[in-house]
A = this chain, B = another copy of it.
Amino acid sequence: MRYFKSDNTATVSEEILQAIVDANSGAAVPYGTDRWSERLNTVFGEFFGTEVRVFAVSSGTAANSLALATVCPPWGTVLTHAEAHIERDECGAPEFFTGGAKLSLVTGPGAKISAADLAARLDWFEPHVHGVQPRALSITQATERGAIYTPAEIAALAKIAHARGMRVHMDGARFANALVAQKVSPADLTWKSGVDVLSFGVIKNGGMNAEAVVFFDPALVADFEFRRKRAGQLFCKGRYASVQLLAYVETGVWRRNAERANALAARIAAAAPALLSEPLATNQVFMKMGQQRIDALGQQGFAFYPWGPVGSGEGRFVCSWDTPEEDVDALCAALSTGGT
């Protein structure tokens, strides 16, 4: 099988695995107070060019849910896109962690939220006790349909959100892919544009089992640590998570891996540009090719997801940091030779 289902089928980058092996020596104090964990704020602070507070957790779902629970009370609501991972793929985790806050959905192409649509959706909420109150905006970078938000787009959304007293959360499961796709800095794409808290994705792009929650305002951290502990997300042997995050940032593996995944996706898109159902921006390729072709590719050993509702004829190909070149060659060939 040639895997294009998701970047979570990939292996762990050598740099990260080596960091784990290197850390496996001598006693270390537990629960995130070890000498590796204590470097997180500094290393991420340098990466983002500002003071940050960084916390390791075991999954993107946990990162998103804990971040949202910190900024949205149970009677609050999180504005997000109808196709967002937090809405569609986390089995209600945000509702669980927040104590029942509601996700209020915005639609729009590319799984992106436009400033106009956000403003229009917010008009529905009134400042009385009968309705939930908008307290957070959550956007995905890159989106669930591979699109990216520019700093200007983020800033426009954040301006609206902040004016309503809302906080801005970014689900950055594929943050590095979105970052290298633009000529901007980590700062540009986050706090400088108004992001308050970021789920900083590591696992899909070469990590093993640690993601980071990054707060750009220390005051926002509030009770986060109690929430994390209470959720079973405080690592006992904390070093093995923290070194993953450190290696990811410090060795530059984040950039190398994201660039390679994006580049492979670009090759696929170029092989059949007429089929593209979304403009290519990162490492996800969406193509409208019809069910027959979807079936044919499956029979040829390409593993990927049909996308959208049944019968849409659309498929999604995701390239990982370690997707074999020959798998991409084969897919490009299969796509360019056309079909029905």
Contact = CB atoms under 8 A, between A and B. Distances in A.
Contacts of A338: none
Contact of A235 (B59, B130, B132, B133): B59
B229 A91 contact: yes
Q: What 9 pairs across the A-B complex have the smallest Cβ distances?
A: A62-B232, A95-B100, A3-B27, A58-B58, A75-B226, A61-B232, A129-B229, A9-B27, A8-B30
Of A1, A29, A225, A237, most buried by chain B (CB within 10 Å of CB) is: A237
B235 A58 contact: yes
27 contacts: A9-B30, A11-B27, A17-B20, A20-B208, A59-B233, A59-B235, A60-B232, A61-B229, A75-B229, A75-B230, A88-B130, A88-B131, A90-B130, A90-B229, A90-B232, A91-B129, A92-B102, A93-B230, A95-B100, A95-B101, A98-B100, A129-B226, A129-B228, A203-B236, A209-B236, A209-B237, A231-B232
B59 A236 contact: yes
A59 B95 CA distance: 21
A28 B12 contact: no
Contact of A100 (B75, B92, B204, B240): B92
Copies of this chain, tallied across the complex = 4
A208 B239 CA distance: 9
Contacts of A57: 232
A73 interface: yes
A228 to B, nearest CB: 8
Interface in A72-90: 73-75, 77, 88-90
A208 B240 contact: yes
Given A8-B237, A29-B9, A237-B12, A100 B103 contact: no
A223 interface: yes
Contacts of A208: 20, 237, 240
Contacts of A89: 130-131
Given A91-B229, A92-B101, A97-B232, 15 more contacts: A8-B237, A9-B29, A9-B30, A11-B25, A17-B24, A62-B233, A74-B92, A75-B91, A91-B230, A92-B230, A93-B232, A129-B225, A129-B226, A208-B240, A209-B209
A234 interface: yes
Interface in A34-83: 57-63, 65-66, 73-75, 77
